[in-house]
Structure 1
Amino acid sequence: MQVSLTADDGHTFSAWEAGNPDGPHALVVVQEIFGVNRHMRQIADTFASQGFSVLTPALFDRVERDAELGYTQDDVKKGLALRAEIPLKDTLADLRACAEHFRRHAPHRKVGIIGFCWGGTLAWDAATQTHDFSVAVSWYGGGIAAHKDAVPHCPVQLHFGGQDSSIPHMDVAAIRTAHPELDIYVYDDAGHGFGNSDRSSFNEAANRLAWERSVAFLEAGLHTKGNIPDRP
């Protein structure tokens, strides 16, 4: 269902909520450049069916409310244009608001984050530029290489498609070199968006394996005893 959240700068935005809000595994699912469309709601609902409490924030609400796009070239252009209008600090404020929402009644509750495409880059940014998340997973985050020297504050797992024409192999290699400690997986026959069943690039085998790895990694990170990382 739709809920309304407020970031610390006063911006109010919607989020898709799925699962038991007080369940043991709190997770923020971060959208692609196509908004919180049917696919992103399906992803959230699938995580909920596996025991996660999920919030998927509508990050485009800062420039266009309720934006839901398809996958035509015009949709891609519009999604890129909307993304370009939103400073990183604003998207991070929205992601932090989701984490705070989860911790409203449990201040030390751990929160995970997983993102796809643009959201994959944002998951990395949230892991490196905030202390709000205890575990982070990124699927085909094209902007990570540009921020590869940032240091994560929590465990991070990355997934890339070996046939992704928008993320060069050299970018993935550079990330590996900068962070040999990270779990980085490349699916040789998969392209960009291999986890989106609504796109022609969907790769069932890669999606299944990446999903299994992601769920196991998130559950392990959220099960670990102790509080969330100290925040400044």
Structure 2
Amino acid sequence: MADPFSAAVDAQWVDIPMPGGSPRAMPAWWARPAAGERPRAAVLVLPEVFGVNGWVRSVADRLAAEGYAALAISTFWRTAPHLDVGYDEAGLAAGREHRDQVTTDQLLSDVAAAAAWLQAAHQGDGLAHKPLGCVGFCFGGHLALLAATLPVIAATADFYGARVSTFRPGGGSPSLELVPEIPGRLWCFCGDADPLMPAEELRAIEAALAAHPEAGHRLLIAPGAGHGYMCTARGDYHPAAAQEGWAALLELFASSL
């Protein structure tokens, strides 16, 4: 996929060192504003089950064009560090195979390592002591809710992160039960025509967020939108809902980071 923002940003693959003296590193796509421009803040991008593919990289590039430093991390780096599969049945099956091997503890460790890299390696950008944003899509949206429990994350956009009311990666009580532990703001996005997020799931999310009105959490439901509506490469892409979702994401980050 061509990157329409490549002229406005500096972007490249980087390797994120992992804690504990691990000989392996986590691949990530690193995008920042064009040379000479200081990022306004940094954002972590958590991909769908299809990996850090062209569309996910374009999200990071688009954030960089808005003035943010963005790091899209490979959440499947332990089993498929360079996963990049298509939006078809074969790609979905391959992605789900690796998705099912991710645990919550692994994800939190990965996000902490990415945050440490951002803050330590880019002190000259003014990122050393700034809180981070986080955005995730599909399974990455579910993981973004988990990442939101870390103190370093100040604002999280969870796009259609399914099964948060019934499941937690690696086992345990449903991820939605962690909402009281989130120190920052969590905005959950989904379409009202998403078959992976039925009405009972949306009610559970709404209730969990509403229980903490002081936190500034929100549930934003896009009329007529299905699963994956933000992604231009998916059959459920919904231009109007995607435009509104992107505007809300920028509002969240501008007011929180």
Q: TM-score w.r.t. structure 2 length?
A: 0.82
Structure 1 residue 144, shift from structure 2 partner: 2.2
Distance 1:51 1:79 in 2: 31
Superposed CA deviations along residues 58-109 of structure 1, whole A, max 9, x for unmatched, are 1222102311010111111110011111222112211111111121125422
Q: Which runs of 5+ in 2 are unaligned?
A: 1-11, 166-173
Partners of 1:22 and 1:93 in 2: CA distance: 27
The list of structure 1 runs, each at least 4 consecutive aligned residues, that deviate by more than 6 angstroms after superposition, is none
Aligned to 1:162: 192
Query: Does the aligned pair in 2 maintain the 1:23–1:51 contact within 8 Å?
Result: yes
Once structures 1 and 2 are overlaid, which stretch shifts more, 133-142 or 3-12?
3-12
Gaps of 5+ in 1: 223-232
- Tell me, what secondary structure is at the counterpart of 2:148? helix
Are 2:254 and 1:219 equivalent residues in the alignment?
A: yes
Give the Cα–Cα distance (whole angstroms) in 1 for the partners of residues 112 and 247 of structure 2. Answer: 26
Once the 2 structures are TM-superposed, how far is the Cα of residue 149 of structure 1 from its aligned partner?
2.1
| Residues 131 and 153 in structure 1, CA contact (< 8 A), matched pair in contact too | yes
* Residue correspondence of structure 1 range 64-213 to structure 2 within 5 A: 64-104=80-120, 105=123, 106-128=127-149, 130-145=150-165, 146-150=174-178, 151=180, 152-180=182-210, 181=213, 182-213=217-248
Deviation at 1:22, TM superposition (A): 5.1
| Corresponding residue of 2:78 | 62
What number of residue pairs does the alignment pair up? 221
Query: Which residue identity is paired with 1:3?
Result: V
Residue 19 of structure 1 aligns to a residue whose secondary structure is: strand
What percent identity do the matched residue pairs reach?
A: 25
Q: Aligned pair 1:47/2:60, yes or no? A: no
TM-score (norm 1): 0.91
Give 3-state SS (helix, strand or coil) of 1:27's partner. strand
Query: How many Å separate the matches in 2 of 1:107 and 1:213?
Result: 26
Which structure is higher in RCO with an 8 Å CA cutoff and minimum separation 6?
1
